[in-house]
Structure 1
Amino acid sequence: MKLGADGIYVELAGEAYELRPSLRASMRLVRRHGLTGLLAAVQGFNVTIIMDVLREAAISPKLLLADIAAFGLGTVRNRLTGPLAEFVLAIAGIDPDDTAPAPSGKPIDPEQAFAKLFGIATGWLGWSPEEAWNATPAEIIAARNGRVDLITDVMKAVFGTTEEQTSIAIYTPDQLSQIEEGGHDPAFDREGYAALKAKLLSQRTR
């Protein structure tokens, strides 16, 4: 799901409710049903699993049952299948409007990917666990990319902006920690590193 994209809504009992693909909902649903299981549940309109989806989105499953009783299974299915499918695709990180070819390579286990995003949010970004669980994967990825851009900008400020100087490899946080523990790096400016640490610390404590 794109950052800042329109929300995904379902209509139940005459009201619109948002299906937000938070990291918590994504992890729990994938762990219980798997991505293929969720897609199959939407296509087959498995009421039990769809009630679980609504529950994870903080929507009362009783609303679904009440609508089915009032309007019939077929009518409710036609109304909800589209947004439910969009929600599952968002969990899978698929944008149905994206025409770019899918990346090649070995598929990533979704549960492991969500766990990695949680680690990035709570470790590298310094968010609380609750903030990480409530964010969507797209929000965490965007925040992570923003921090990478910040590090890149600070490194350019420390080492200069000429073509030769900006060709210096950008260090990851793990590499920076190893350099600090080892006490040396042939290509590393210790004074520049100290300035970088001070800059990142001031950004984190704002």
Structure 2
Amino acid sequence: MKFGADGIFVELAGEAHELRPSLRASMRLVRRHGLSGLLAAVQDFNTIVITDMLREAAITPGLLLAEIAASGLGNVRSRLTGPLAQFALAIAGIDPDEPTPSKPASGKPADPEQVFAQLFGIATGWLGWAPEEAWNATPAEIIAAKSGRTDLITDILKAVFGTTEKTGHAPEVYTTERLKQIEEQGFDPAFNREALHSLKSRQ
């Protein structure tokens, strides 16, 4: 699911309920049914798997059966198949509105559970989020947050150390000899302290 995309909603009992592909819901559903199993369940309108999908999205599963009893299976299936398919595709990391789908990666396909575990590690380690925040975030939100933090750190490093465009030469390579020289001098000549002070003054 693309970051910032509109939410996915299903209407049950006259109310709109959001199908949010959180990291926790994605991990649990893939572990139990697999990505292909989720898509097949939506296509076949397997109510057992679909009620599990609703449960993981914090929607009372009984609402589905009540809706079928009130409106009929055909009516409910025609209304819910679209958003349920969107939900399953979002868990798989597929954007159906993407005009040019990305080329499949070469080699062995990534294990979805492993990918979700890595995203959890990024959220709780690299980003410093609490575990509950990580589980409630969507994969797209975690990826966007990591990208933003990486850009911020890159900008800070550029401000402090400069870039090859500004200096006209490659960055300093910190060899053993170079580190020894810095230790003897007591400072690193390549470190731009004026830029660091300027950066701090703008905070």
Deviation at 1:163, TM superposition (A): 1.0
| Cα distance in 2 for residues equivalent to 1:166 and 1:32 | 55
State TM-score, norm by structure 2.
0.82
Which residue number in structure 1 is paired with residue 196 of structure 2? none
* Cα separation, 2, equivalents of 1:91 and 1:130: 18
User: Does the residue aligned with 2:17 lie in a helix, a strand or coil?
Assistant: strand
* 8 A Cα contact 2:161 2:191, kept in partner: yes
Q: 1:159 to 1:109 in 2, by over 3 A?
A: same
Secondary structure, aligned partner of 2:2:
coil
Contact 1:159 1:166 in 2 (8 A): no
Match of residue 123 from structure 1: 125
Unaligned stretches of 5+ in structure 2?
A: 182-187, 194-203
Query: Taking structure 1 as reference, are residues 70 and 110 closer, same or farther at Cα in structure 2, changes over 3 Å only?
Result: same
AA in 1 matched with 2:106: G
Q: Are the counterparts in 2 of residues 121 and 127 from structure 1 also a CA contact under 8 Å?
A: yes
**If the length of structure 1 is used for normalisation, what is the TM-score?**
0.81
Say whether the 8 Å CA contact 1:159–1:165 is kept in structure 2: no
Match of 2:59 in 1: 59
Q: Which residue does 2:21 correspond to in 1?
A: 21
- Residue in 1 that maps onto 2:148: 146
Question: Could you tell me which residue of structure 2 aligns to residue 40 of structure 1?
Answer: 40
Measure, in 1, the Cα distance between the counterparts of 2:78 and 2:42: 11
The within-5 A match list for 1:65-84 is: 65-84=65-84
Identity %: 72
Provide the aligned length of Structure 1 versus Structure 2: 184
Q: Which residue of 2 aligns with 1:197?
A: none
CA distance in 2, matches of 1:14, 1:168: 63
**1:37: Cα distance to partner?**
0.1
Q: Distance in 1 between matches of 2:34 and 2:70?
A: 31
2:162 and 2:192 in contact (8 A); partners too? no
**Equivalent residue for 1:114, pick from 89, 113, 116:** 116
Cα deviation 1:95-119 (Å, max 9, x = unaligned): 1011223233232111000000000
**Distance of 2:130 and 2:112 partners within structure 1:** 22
Report the CA distance shift for 1:161/1:8 in structure 2 as closer, same or farther (over 3 A). same
Deviation at 1:47, TM superposition (A): 0.2
Distance in 2, matches of 1:185 and 1:2, equals 48
CA contact under 8 A between 1:52 and 1:61: conserved in structure 2? yes
